[in-house]
Amino acid sequence: MNPPVPDLDLLVDEWLTIPDAAERLDLDVTKVHRLLQERRLVAVRRGERPVQSVPAAFLVAGHLANPAAPSKAEGLPEWTVLAALQGTLTVLTDVGFSDADAIAWLFARDESLAASPIEALRAGRKTEVRRLAQAEL
């Protein structure tokens, strides 16, 4: 099935606890939990006293929610969830990846992308990343 999950702290350089993510997104903690339920975000338990944490790279400046077409609209939130993340997480879940597997896959460098999948998503390369994720079947 899937290869063993590497130590995520070696792959992910910045983590946000759920309350920290809520503060950055200017949302209530319950709304961040809803984002997790809707699979717009994924989290893993980590630390000495394990608390749910999400990679900070899943959040982007509001105008970059869709990096392929940055918005110039007024009144955008300062931070938001990367729009392409949800569909990519859906593909990875369909392939059988756990949340930890998905995070590891998103942050591991892939030579065919010349970047990690999360870097490619943040650069607006959603189609390439999802094609690569579907190839995991």
Buried b (16+ CB within 10 A) or exposed e, 77-92: eebbbbbbbebbbebb
pLDDT value of position 5:
55
Q: Which stretches within the chain are classed as H helix? A: 8-11, 18-25, 29-37, 84-95, 99-107, 117-122, 126-134
pLDDT value of position 6:
64
Among residues 67, 136, 65, 50, the alpha carbon closest in space to that of 101 is found at: 136
pLDDT value of position 95:
93
Mean pLDDT of the chain: 93
The span from the CA of 8 to the CA of 11, in Å, is 5
pLDDT value of position 75:
86
What is each CA distance from 40 to 2, 35, 87, 90, in whole angstroms? 22, 5, 8, 9
pLDDT value of position 28:
97
For residue 1, what pLDDT band results from cuts at 50, 70 and 90? very low
The residue ranges of every structural domain in the chain are 8-68+76-134
Using CA atoms of 2, 32, 23, 45 in order, give the dihedral in degrees to the nearest 10. -40
pLDDT value of position 73:
82
31-44 average pLDDT score: 97
